[in-house]
Chain A
Amino acid sequence: MQQEKLVIQSAPHIHSSMTTQKIMFYVISALVPAAAAGVFYFGLRALMHLLISILLAVLTEAVVQKLMHQPITIRDGSAILTGLLIGMNLPVAAPLWIGGVGSVFAIALVKQAFGGLGHNFMNPALAARAMMLASWPSFMTNWTTPFDGLATATPLAILKAGIPNTTALPTYWDMFIGNIGGCIGETSALALLLGGVFLIYKEVIDYRIPLAYIGTVYIFGSIFGADGLNSGLFYLLAGGMMLGSIFMATDYVSSPATARGRWIYGIGCGLITMLIRLWGSYPEGVSFSILLMNIAAPLIERFTIPKKFGEVSKKNAK
């Protein structure tokens, strides 16, 4: 009888209950408050944007995998997440087809052409955003006010236009709850922070990247930002900072895997973001900074490989 209870197995013996599907589910649910805030502020059209982007992302994944004779993996939720992020990165007044085009681009070219989930060298949603911004700058910067949909500018664009305009800036409270012009999913820092705390608590994302990113932007903004503002705080609440640092920079595939590497990566994202915001020609730099650091991630990993247990450095070997 005792013999039957003895199970013989090869390593590994410890399993994590975390599966790809589960991680994607957690991230998507963490994004729900921010998406809901976007729909609340910008109306049903925002919901249409989100649905079209998700639908096209999932459809493209299925079609490409079918054409390439690969197993269809739309059930893992990664395409849904990419589509959702693309939808959240659109201004509500943009034409409805734009998120669909972005989703097809993200999944077919940035993700599947490089080998699918786990092989994309940059974040597909962000690459799609950069493509859309370069292709249709007038649609992608067509900002409107929450609720009544009047033409407006984002806080960062107001600041970029010059110091005399800073009186037109919204209050910090409005920026915190999301009552400002911007992309559907980026305006409400409150909702995004809720999702971020949930993900860090569930250990889905590492606190290092958002913390390094947010900290760098805060310090840099405080030192170099416009006078007369609490500019460190302003640069945290404005633009895609929260969405980018919590949900996009922490993408497993395109961010470094080492702990030290994640600090470097986060600081790099923060520095490039602030360089673009302060001295670049675009008012916002979150997406470009993350894309650039995505490309640098393999290099960062190479230089931050932790020492193996018992390893002796070459200098001390003598």
Chain B
Amino acid sequence: MQNKYLKTLTNGIFSENPVFRLVLGMCPSLAVTTAVDNAFWMGVMVIFVLTFSNMFISMLRNLIPDKIRIPSFIVIIATLVTVVDLVMAAYMPAMHTTLGIFIPLIVVNCIILARAESFAYKNGVLASTLDGFGMGVGYMLAVLILAAIRELLGNGSFFGINLLGAGFPAAKVMVQAPGAFITLGVILGIIKLMSDRKKAE
């Protein structure tokens, strides 16, 4: 029993990582990963929304009519997103401005709706909460990896701290849109290659 919950929790981090394995919620993942700082706070917000949306949807799953389940999910998710949006605006106005439109857009993030539909609507409250948290952590790890690579190569820094010295000729393309696709493509390729080789063994 214990083991089953642990598996639900780690599922989202490794074997079904939302960004690297399910390839869901790409738009914000690519847009906010220009700096580790942005990615970190985006990750925190997604963990919060995903954990609680899974929890509430699981609690209400026997009350939500099947035919209008998607609008019902969206109401719950949008409420939670409004909460983080207002909290960010109040306590971290600078980060709120930087992330801009991508905070309200968490409402339509595919990962959150996907977990509501495919997991929380069918499973118990504890399992759903753990799944939401695990998926959120998986998302955060993925955007942190993307952001660390892009910020280091594109700006020579990590979390805003300059690591490579002022003389480092940063490749600007890495913090622009093409850099997001290149980084994601290379990481997806490496993961695919490694899992293929593992399977072949």
Contacts and interface: CB of A to CB of B under 8 A. Distances in A.
Interface of A: 95, 101, 109, 113, 131, 134-137, 139
A39 B137 CA distance: 55
A129 to B, nearest CB: 12
The B interface, classified by DSSP as helix, strand, loop or mixed, is: helix
Nearest to B176: A134
Q: Which of B171, B176, B189 has the most CB of A within 10 A?
A: B171
Given A134-B172, A136-B171, A137-B172, 6 more contacts: A95-B169, A109-B182, A135-B170, A135-B171, A135-B174, A136-B172
Contacts of A137: 172
Contacts of B182: 109
Which 3 pairs between the two chains have the least Cβ-Cβ distance?
A: A135-B171, A134-B173, A135-B173
A95 B176 CA distance: 22
Nearest to A133: B173
A113 B186 CA distance: 9
B178 A134 contact: yes
Interface residues of B, number: 12
Nearest to B175: A135
Contacts of B171: 101, 131, 135-136
Given A134-B176, A134-B178, A139 B186 contact: no
A135 B178 CA distance: 11
A89 to B, nearest CB: 16
Contacts of A134: 172-173, 176, 178
24 contacts: A95-B169, A101-B171, A109-B182, A109-B186, A113-B185, A113-B186, A113-B189, A131-B171, A131-B173, A131-B178, A134-B172, A134-B173, A134-B176, A134-B178, A135-B170, A135-B171, A135-B172, A135-B173, A135-B174, A136-B169, A136-B171, A136-B172, A137-B172, A139-B169
Contacts of B174: 135
Contacts of B173: 131, 134-135
Contacts of A95: 169
A225 to B, nearest CB: 31
A95 B169 CA distance: 10
A60 B171 CA distance: 19
Interface string B159-198: 0000000000111111010100010011001000000000
A131 B173 CA distance: 7
A227 to B, nearest CB: 36
Which of A101, A131, A135, A136 is the most central at the interface, judged by chain B CB atoms within 10 Å of its CB?
A135
Contacts of B169: 95, 136, 139
A139 B176 CA distance: 18
Contacts of A113: 185-186, 189
Nearest to A101: B171
Nearest to A137: B172
A105 to B, nearest CB: 9
A135 B182 CA distance: 13
Nearest to A69: B197
Nearest to B182: A109
Contacts of A131: 171, 173, 178
Contacts of B186: 109, 113
A66 B163 CA distance: 32
B153 to A, nearest CB: 9
Contacts of A109: 182, 186
A67 to B, nearest CB: 9
A95 B168 CA distance: 12
B182 to A, nearest CB: 7
A131 B176 CA distance: 11
A113 to B, nearest CB: 6
A60 to B, nearest CB: 14
Nearest to B189: A113
A95 B185 CA distance: 28
A90 to B, nearest CB: 14
Interface in B70-122: none
A299 B30 CA distance: 28
A109 B170 CA distance: 19
A137 B173 CA distance: 10
A206 B36 CA distance: 49
B146 to A, nearest CB: 16
Contacts of A139: 169
Nearest to A67: B193
Contacts of B170: 135
A136 B186 CA distance: 21
